[in-house]
Amino acid sequence: MTPIIEIFQTNVDSESIAQTILTEINNLFPELVVNFDLEDCDRILRLVTPSYDYVPKVSAILVDSGYLCEVLPDDI
């Protein structure tokens, strides 16, 4: 199965917050690969997942924590 890569725009602006979010995602879903690029203008969260089922779950973690989390279109 080919992994799915999804890129989210966020408004996370601190390494410590990013690390907290990554820890939560990794604890809940150890099968995922996630990382932030806070130097990118969109402060992206990159998700490598075996299934699209994880996309709303990961997004909900950020939104529930009070952060923006929107999937970026593939054509950017």
pLDDT (tens digit, 9 = 90+) per residue, 8-63? 999 999 999 999 999 999 999 999 999 999 999 999 999 999 999 999 999 999 99
pLDDT band at 70 (very low <50, low <70, confident <90, very high): very high
Query: Does the pTM exceed 0.85?
Result: yes
Of residues 1 and 40, more confidence is placed in 40
pLDDT band at 75 (very low <50, low <70, confident <90, very high): low
Which helix (H) or strand (E) covers residue 26, if one does? Answer: helix 15-28
Side by side, the strands of the sheet bearing 33-37 are 33-37, 44-49, 4-10, 69-71
**Which CATH fold would you assign to the domain 4-71?**
Alpha-Beta Plaits (3.30.70)
